[in-house]
Structures are given as structure tokens and as C-alpha cells.
Structure 1
Amino acid sequence: MAKVEPRNVGPLLQMLRNFLLGREHTTHLRHQDYISARTQPLPNLPDGPAHKLSMNYYYSRDGRREVKLPTVLASQTGQKAISEGTSETKDVAVKKAPTPGVMFKWD
């Protein structure tokens, strides 16, 4: 006994349909014979801070509480908040960024 495709038309109509489509028609219906097996292995994920049973408070793992104000690395006065890695510090003047094009004084 030949296996019949579920919900398909006869061979003459299949050839006509494939000719009019310009390609071979594929059925998008989900039948048991055409579905792949759902036997994927379970994910192997490392334990995080939420996997602990005790001392697992929400405030200690809330990412919004980790946000702090930005650290000033350099200011307009020329003083640097970070060092260059050597014991002597060099005074570097901070230049003002140039304005592109010619400015029009409208006052």
C-alpha cells in the first residue's frame, strides 16, 4: 500500500499547480509524519545568584540598584581624576572643541 500525503490533491492537479506556481508546492500543514522529534537535551546553564535557597533577596540582585552616577575622568579645568601610571603628573590643557563652519553672530 502506497503512503498517501495527507490533505493533498491528485497527481494531475499537482502538476498543474506546480506549473502555475513555477515551483514545487510544499504543504505548510503540521502533520505528525512531517514534524521533527522534540527530544532536545536540557540546557546546561551555570547557577546564578538567583539559584541560592537562602540569602537570596531581591534587593541584592536588582540591576537597577547597581546603577551609580558617572565618574568624572576629566574636567574643563585641566585636572585629571585618573593618573597616567607614572609618579609624576603632567599638566595638560583641555582645548575647546572647534565649531564646524563659520558662525553667524545674529545679535
Structure 2
Amino acid sequence: MPPRPKIQHHDVSPFLQNLREILLGRKHTKALRFQDLLSTRDPPPPVLPDGPAHRLNNNYYFTRDPRREVTPPEVIVPSPKQIQERGEGRTLITPGKLWNWD
């Protein structure tokens, strides 16, 4: 198959091209799309590492659903009731009501 000839793209005369570039202050990019300037439609497939759910056996939906792995937050600072039960004298001020998950 012989090589494809270079196709002239639709544009204005060279004098007007130079004038346009001077007035714009940069090289003009055409808004039209030409076939020889586009990338191919068949890019190579990506090479991705295997994830936690790449195997087909023992891969049930409920075990790979990340939303089901969310748990209530862990309590780092004890609540004021727990401090009073221990017998400590001061109480902590909390901004609003505590949310009970259960």
C-alpha cells in the first residue's frame, strides 16, 4: 500500500496566516478536526495491577462491597458519664448530643 499523500487543510492564505499570528500573539490552532491529526481509535489496553476482587472464585458481592466495611467511629476520649462513674471530679463539655449507633 503506497503512503498517503499529505493533505492540505482548509485555511486562509499564508499572508493572512502570518497577520493572524501577529495579531493573536501566538500560533493559531484550528477548531476543525482533520483525520490525520486525530489519534487512533484503538489505543493499547492499560496494564493495571490485580485488585482485591480480581479472582472469580470466592468473590461474593457482600465480601467485596467497601460500603459494608464502614464501622462506627472508635471512642478515644471517654464520655462525661464514664468520667463521673470513675469518680473523677471534672466533667467535659461536649458540643451537642451524642449519636448512638445502636
Both proteins in one fold, TM over 0.5: yes
In structure 2, the partner of 1:19 is 22
Q: 1:57 aligns with which of 56, 60, 64?
A: 60
TM-score by length of 2: 0.56
The AA in structure 2 aligned to 1:65 is R
1:70 aligns with 2:73: yes
8 Å contact kept, 1:18–1:25: yes
Map residues 38-53 of structure 1 onto 2, 5 A cutoff.
41-53=44-56
Give the structure with the larger helix fraction: 2
Moved >6 Å (runs of 4+): 92-95
Look up the match of 1:7. Answer: 10
TM-score (norm 1): 0.54
**Taking every aligned residue pair, what percent have the same amino acid on both sides?**
49
**Shift in Å, 1:35:** 3.3
CA apart distance, 1:69? 1.4
2:53 is aligned with what amino acid? A
Q: Report SS of the residue matched to 2:53.
A: helix
In structure 2, the residue matched to 1:34 is 37
Count of matched residue positions in the alignment of Structure 1 and Structure 2: 83
User: For 2:38 and 2:63, how far apart are their aligned partners in 1?
Assistant: 44
| Contact 1:49-1:56 at 8 Å conserved across structures | no
